[in-house]
Amino acid sequence: MSMMFPDPVTSTGPPAVAVRDLRVRVPSPGRAYAAPVEVLRGLTFTAPAGQVTALVGANGAGKTTALRAITTTLPFSDGTLEVLGIELGPANVPFPARASHVPDDPVYPEHWTAHDVARLRRRVAPDFNLRAFGAMLTAQGVAHDRRRSELSRGQITQLGVAAALAEDPQLLILDEPFARLDPLARTDLVDELRMLMARGDRSIVLATHDLEGMERFVDHLVVVADGKDVIEGDIESLREEFLVLDAALDENEFRGEGAPLIGASTVGGRTTALVSTEDVVGLPPRSDVRRPTVSELVTHFLRAAGTSDHRTPRGRTV
């Protein structure tokens, strides 16, 4: 199911990433002769150029599979996929040189140090900035001479991100970059990503299940559930389009009040849900409404996606 919004006009050029009806099938785990499992089931979204786009969803929603397809490390069976204006597909079209990808768990040999990573990156990216790479690692407290096997999982993530940023990519794709970082390291990483975006003509696509406190960093939101897009849009527009309702009514009682509820939950006789801004005038007097945070938008839309009896605003299709 998907709520469709017009693509925001953010650039006169092509979007950073454009995905249309993407379908990916993978072998059934542990069952060699079983039919393949369809992990992505018609995923569609656009990552505008010059913006930070977040793919958000629960574990297993298909976010990592989507990024692997986008970076050509996993073939897709149907749909279309464009990265930096280049259409990718089964014709062995290489991933664009001005794009960098940091997977969920960067894979380097156990005995490699940061020096080895730098040597590899300089071979594939002649513009690799060795000084910037070293400075980022030093700032993050990652020793240059320690082997991968001696680093924490968070430090391995920092190593992979530093190597990607040192290439000064036009498009940076990150899979769960914050999952293994402590709060301070997370803040430092966001600062580094802000510096990348400040250079102009840069785009970031990141997959995560947690956007707490990211309102001022992420521009464009794509909520993914069960291999499909649930909703997509500019974050500020979505926060104006919907409100969080908090009412002293049971959800079943509230359904008779007329305003459609999105991702409703009732605890202790109080119902919280998203409602369309245009429905505010029809709310009962016992209702409190406010602008949602990004996390609240995600939570309620994912809850709606997981129920068969969800409601949507007037004029929207699901």
188 within a domain of the structure (yes/no): yes
Q: Are residues 137 and 282 both part of a single domain?
A: no
Query: Counting Cβ atoms within 10 Å, is residue 7 exposed (0-12), middle (13-18) or buried (19+)?
Result: middle
End-to-end Cα, the chain, rounded Å:
5
Answer with the residue of higher pLDDT: 30 or 269: 269
Q: Are residues 250 and 197 both part of a single domain?
A: no
Which of helix, strand or coil describes residue 46?
A: strand
Give me the pLDDT at residue 256, please.
Answer: 52
153 within a domain of the structure (yes/no): yes
Q: Are residues 251 and 271 both part of a single domain?
A: yes
The domain boundary, picked from 207, 234, 261, lies at: 234
Q: Are residues 191 and 137 both part of a single domain?
A: yes
For 246-271, write each residue's pLDDT tens digit: 888 766 666 555 678 899 888 887 88
Write down the mean pLDDT value for the chain: 85
For 208-227, write each residue's pLDDT tens digit: 987 877 778 999 999 999 99
Q: Are residues 276 and 289 both part of a single domain?
A: yes
The domain boundary, picked from 211, 234, 257, lies at: 234
Q: Are residues 112 and 256 both part of a single domain?
A: no
Answer with the residue of higher pLDDT: 171 or 59: 171
Answer with the residue of higher pLDDT: 117 or 249: 117
Answer with the residue of higher pLDDT: 155 or 318: 155
316 within a domain of the structure (yes/no): no
Q: Are residues 273 and 164 both part of a single domain?
A: no
The domain boundary, picked from 234, 251, 285, lies at: 234
Answer with the residue of higher pLDDT: 249 or 1: 249
Give me the pLDDT at residue 312, please.
Answer: 41
Give me the pLDDT at residue 286, please.
Answer: 72
147 within a domain of the structure (yes/no): yes
Strand 203-208 and strand 52-56: the pairing is: parallel
115: pLDDT strictly greater than 70: yes
Q: Are residues 263 and 118 both part of a single domain?
A: no
CB of 41 closer than 8 Å to CB of 83: no
Sign of CA dihedral 150, 153, 158, 164: positive
100: pLDDT strictly greater than 50: yes
Give me the pLDDT at residue 314, please.
Answer: 35
Give me the pLDDT at residue 158, please.
Answer: 93
Give me the pLDDT at residue 93, please.
Answer: 74
For 8, the token pair is 């925001």
- pLDDT cut 70: percent of the chain above it: 87
Q: Are residues 155 and 291 both part of a single domain?
A: no
Give me the pLDDT at residue 20, please.
Answer: 96
Q: The domain containing residue 282 runs over which residues?
A: 237-305
Mean pLDDT of 32-38: 78
Q: What distance lies between CA 266 and its chain's CA centroid?
A: 28
7 within a domain of the structure (yes/no): no
311 within a domain of the structure (yes/no): no
Give me the pLDDT at residue 12, please.
Answer: 57
**Closest Cα to residue 47, out of 196, 194, 204, 202?**
204
User: What domain count does the chain have?
Assistant: 2
Answer with the residue of higher pLDDT: 32 or 153: 153
For 66-94, write each residue's pLDDT tens digit: 999 999 888 898 999 999 999 987 666 78
Give me the pLDDT at residue 254, please.
Answer: 62
Mean pLDDT of 105-113: 90
179 within a domain of the structure (yes/no): yes
Q: Are residues 72 and 198 both part of a single domain?
A: yes
282: pLDDT strictly greater than 90: no
Q: Are residues 37 and 142 both part of a single domain?
A: yes
Give me the pLDDT at residue 317, please.
Answer: 36
Residue 37's CATH number: 3.40.50.300
**Closest Cα to residue 17, out of 73, 55, 58, 59?**
55
65 within a domain of the structure (yes/no): yes
Q: Are residues 179 and 216 both part of a single domain?
A: yes
